[in-house]
Amino acid sequence: AQSVAQPEDQVNVAEGNPLTVKCTYSVSGNPYLFWYVQYPNRGLQFLLKYITGDNLVKGSYGFEAEFNKSQTSFHLKKPSALVSDSALYFCAVGTNTGFQKLVFGTGTRLLVSP
Amino acid sequence: GAGVSQSPSNKVTEKGKDVELRCDPISGHTALYWYRQRLGQGLEFLIYFQGNSAPDKSGLPSDRFSAERTGESVSTLTIQRTQQEDSAVYLCASSGGGTGGHEQYFGPGTRLTVT
């Protein structure tokens, strides 16, 4: 069965500093990995995905994520955080077997202070 | 183009009543998903539709929950005899389906409160 772990409920970072939001996964087969962001009272917005190819994936709003197969991780990163990046971030995993049900992590709240 | 829309945006109902939640997916998307998000928690998969295939209902929490989809368009999620534990945000998403790897696009959700 697929599973995703986001070990940090909250990440605090000062504006201008780099940020990392952690995600590890467990699947049978090749993983499809996604990051979504949820702003207050809004639906989830797609940020980026890894399907195949380069391990470093670039997405919206300057975010990127690195797929690490040996560590089964897909951490979200940004070189310089903005206060407007403050939101709830979800990692999700699907596989290339069967249908595309995504399993989501429990989310990590990112707080960027001015 | 238009994104995924859901209605109503908010629904307050009394315990024991039935409710219907509606989702309009992005035009051309063959796959449609329903998720539930309880306060402070992650997303819980409920049901998945892919084209004309039989839906995957493995995430429905009880027989009080059901969903239908007309072709590749509108879907309705019905909760019968609502209970307080049904209070949550119900999110709908659609995607291109097919062989996978397609990102899901989410609607704004319906916030259901059962009193």
Q: Which residue has the higher pLDDT, B76 or A103?
A: B76
| Exposed/middle/buried for residue A14 (C-beta within 10 Å: 0-12, 13-18, 19+) | exposed
Rounded-to-integer distance, Cα B90 and Cα B44, Å: 9
Are B35 and B45 contacting, i.e. CB atoms less than 8 angstroms apart?
A: yes
Backbone φ, ψ for residue B73 (5° rounding)? -125, -130
> Which residues of chain B neighbour A31 with C-beta distances below 8 Å?
none
Domain ranges for chain B:
5-98
Residue B42 pLDDT exceeds 90: no
User: Average per-residue pLDDT in chain B?
Assistant: 91
Q: How confident is the model at residue B18 (pLDDT cuts 50, 70, 90)?
A: very high
Interface of A with B in 74-93 (CB under 8 A): 90, 92
**What topology is assigned to A3-113 in CATH?**
Immunoglobulin-like (2.60.40)
Q: A97-101, B2-6, B29-33, B106-110: which has the minimum mean pLDDT?
A: A97-101
A4-30 pLDDT per residue, tens: 999 999 999 999 999 999 999 998 888
- DSSP character string of A53-80: S-SEEE-GGG-EEEEETTTTEEEEEESS
Pair of tokens at residue B84: 């307080």
Please give the pLDDT value at position A48.
95
Q: How confident is the model at residue B103 (pLDDT cuts 50, 70, 90)?
A: confident
Rounded-to-integer distance, Cα B24 and Cα B27, Å: 8
Pair of tokens at residue B20: 């219907």
CATH of domain B5-98: 2.60.40.10
Cβ pair B42:A46 closer than 8 A: no
Q: Which amino acid belongs to residue B42?
A: G
Please give the pLDDT value at position A100.
67
B69-79 pLDDT per residue, tens: 988 789 999 99
Cβ pair A46:B105 closer than 8 A: yes
Chain B within 8 Å of A60 (Cβ-Cβ)? no
Domain ranges for chain A:
3-113
Nearest to B56 among A36, A49, A99 (CB): A99
Please give the pLDDT value at position B22.
97
- Which residue's entry shows tokens 């209605």? B7
Rounded-to-integer distance, Cα B36 and Cα B88, Å: 7
3-state secondary structure of B101: coil
Cβ pair B101:A36 closer than 8 A: no
Across the range B53-74, mean pLDDT stands at 91
A30-80 pLDDT per residue, tens: 889 999 999 887 779 999 999 888 999 999 999 999 999 999 999 999 999
Please give the pLDDT value at position B87.
97
